[in-house]
Amino acid sequence: MYDKKLYRECVDGKSGKWCPTSLNPNQTTKTWAYCLPKGQKPKSSKKFVFK
């Protein structure tokens, strides 16, 4: 929920489309991230090596 409206898709913002990645108990946006263009896969910024 953003600006008292429930969204089920990415929201247009000043710097690009975004969507919530987690919600507060009252269903408002807690954390968010930019949406990727269709067909683009996320890039991993860190690689973990387990030994």
CB atoms within 10 A of CB 30: 12
pTM score, whole prediction: 0.59
Query: Phi and psi (nearest 5°) for 13?
Result: -125, 175
pLDDT at site 9: 81
pLDDT at site 45: 55
Residue 47 confidence (pLDDT) above 60: no
pLDDT at site 23: 86
Distance between CA atoms of residues 20 and 26, nearest Å: 13
pLDDT at site 21: 87
Per-residue pLDDT reduced to its tens digit, 14-39: 988 988 888 889 888 888 888 888 88
